[in-house]
């Protein structure tokens, strides 16, 4: 299996359908196939196969050819992967992720944070903590300041990694 196919399978898993990976693998193998053929090959139910194909089509990761069956007059759809579209798709996803991470990093850098040591899910920036006089809104315990340098570090690393991948 080539690198491109590996990437496609990664993308399939990003689509959030468990069966997408099987379907993409099947298309790699069959090259061009009808939804029936893919369903037979994978054992995935036909309605799921169609749903995944439409999602991939929507992202232009698969192309579709329509052929009219001479006997029945029905149209038959043949699906195939478009690996050349993959790179653009992956890049745009990465760019969006970098933007989100940057926003988060700016937020982390711009604030001091206070946490409740009893409730794991209470974390407020200074501006909000001061409004409640540094008391937890759930249990009324004293909030304590928390060091976010680890978070900042991790965010920075993730951004660096993605940016270097985008430079390739
Ligand atoms: Zn609390």
Residue 79 corresponds to which tokens in the numbers above?
């699906």
Residue 66 Cα to ligand 1 middle (Å): 61
C-alpha Rg value of the chain to the nearest Å: 24
Residue 131 Cα to ligand 1 middle (Å): 15
> How many percent of the chain have pLDDT more than 70?
96
Q: What DSSP character marks residue 119?
A: S
Residue 105 corresponds to which tokens in the numbers above?
């990093």
Residue 74 Cα to ligand 1 middle (Å): 64
pLDDT attached to residue 3: 60
Polymer length in residues for the chain: 168
From 1-5, 49-53, 69-73, the region with the lowest mean pLDDT = 1-5
The 10s digit of each residue's pLDDT in 94-113 is: 899 999 999 999 999 999 99
* Beta-ladder partners of 63: 80
Distance CA 11, CA 83 (A): 11
The pTM score is 0.63
Q: Mean pLDDT across the stretch 44-58?
A: 93
Residue 140 Cα to ligand 1 middle (Å): 6
Residue 125 phi, psi dihedral angles, 5° rounding: -70, 155
Residue 50 corresponds to which tokens in the numbers above?
């169609």
Q: Mean pLDDT across the stretch 70-90?
A: 87
Under a CB-based contact definition with an 8 Å cutoff, are residues 104 and 151 in contact?
no
From 21-25, 139-143, 160-164, the region with the lowest mean pLDDT = 21-25
Where are the strands (E) in 5-72, listed by range? 32-33, 62-68
CATH code of the domain occupying 3-81? 1.10.10.10
Residue 110 Cα to ligand 1 middle (Å): 24
Residue 91 Cα to ligand 1 middle (Å): 41
Q: In this model, does residue 2 exceed pLDDT 70?
A: no
- Helix, strand, coil tally for the chain in percent (to 5): 60, 15, 25
pLDDT attached to residue 93: 82
Residue 112 Cα to ligand 1 middle (Å): 18
How far lies 3's CA from each of 10, 27, 86, 111, 165, in Å?
Answer: 11, 15, 11, 42, 15
pLDDT attached to residue 1: 47
Residue 114 Cα to ligand 1 middle (Å): 11
Residue 125 Cα to ligand 1 middle (Å): 15
């Amino acid at each position: 299996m080539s690198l491109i196919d590996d990437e496609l399978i990664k993308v399939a898993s990003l689509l959030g359908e468990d069966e997408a990976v099987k379907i993409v693998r099947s298309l790699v193998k069959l090259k061009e196939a009808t939804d029936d053929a893919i369903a037979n090959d994978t054992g995935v139910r036909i309605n799921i196969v169609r749903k995944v194909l439409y999602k991939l089509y929507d992202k232009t990761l698969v192309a579709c050819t329509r052929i009219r069956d001479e006997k029945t007059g029905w149209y038959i759809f043949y699906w195939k992967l478009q690996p050349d579209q993959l790179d653009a798709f992956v890049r745009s996803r990465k760019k969006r992720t970098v933007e989100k991470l940057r926003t988060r990093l700016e937020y982390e850098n711009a604030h001091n944070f206070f946490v409740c040591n009893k409730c794991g899910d209470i974390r407020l920036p200074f501006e909000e903590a001061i409004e409640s006089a540094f008391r937890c809104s759930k249990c009324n315990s004293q909030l304590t300041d928390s060091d976010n340098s680890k978070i900042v570090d991790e965010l920075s690393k993730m951004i660096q990694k993605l940016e270097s991948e985008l430079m390739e």
